[in-house]
Amino acid sequence: MSDSLAVLKGDNNISLTVNGESISERVPVRRNLADFLRLDLGLTGTHVGCEHGVCGACTVRLDDKIVRSCLILAIQADGKRVDTIEGLSDDGHLEDLQAAFHARNGLQCGFCTPGILLTAAELIETHPDADREKIREFLSGNYCRCTGYHAIVDAIESVVHSRQKKRAI
């Protein structure tokens, strides 16, 4: 075995980019990314709903792809780029989705909303012509208890249409 391969125990240093900012923190090996964002960085917009990877409330972007932050160790994010709801809000990435959700009331309690917005953003990026069925299918891993999804589908559909219109111009 290579002598240079370290065994990490206890707390370890990690360096990563979070919402465009360089972060260096010391974290327990076992701490997952969701807890790291919430406890160590105070970014509480990423919510913990189950810790099984099922509800989607903890969804963040890791190197530009949506993932369940409860199923990733913070140390696995070392050297990577994480974007959370706060960062993607502030840089305008979610602007049209947020406006559509607001107008259509595509949220009630707001607990699932960050995960839903990030998922919706990836949906429209990967499937720019998604229809309602595709929207529901892509969202099938995000649990919302308040809305029953209809308003969410409406909101996302309206963004699909408005982006289609912009592309057509």
CB of 169 to another protein, least distance (A): 27
Cβ at position 106, least distance to another protein in Å: 9
Tokens of 7: 């065994």
The sheet carrying 21-28 orders its strands as: 21-28, 11-18, 81-83, 59-62, 65-68
Q: Which is nearer to another protein, 82 or 107 (CB)?
A: 107
Which among 53, 35, 47, 43 is positioned nearest to 18, based on CA atoms?
A: 43
Nearer to another protein, 140 or 164 (CB): 140
Pair of tokens at residue 103: 């107008």
Least gap, CB of 39 to another protein (angstroms): 8
CA angle, residues 131, 100, 90, in degrees to nearest 5: 115
Question: Phi and psi for 4 in degrees, rounded to 5?
Answer: -85, -5
- Which residue, 153 or 159, has its beta carbon nearer to another protein? 153
Closer to another protein by CB, 141 or 168: give it: 141
What 98-102 contacts at long range (C-beta under 8 Å, 24+ apart), as own/partner pairs, is: 100/155, 100/156, 100/158, 100/159, 100/162, 101/152, 101/155
Nearest approach, Cβ of residue 128 and another protein (Å): 14
Closest to another protein by CB, 122 vs 169, is 122
How near is the Cβ of 64 to another protein at its closest, in Å?
10
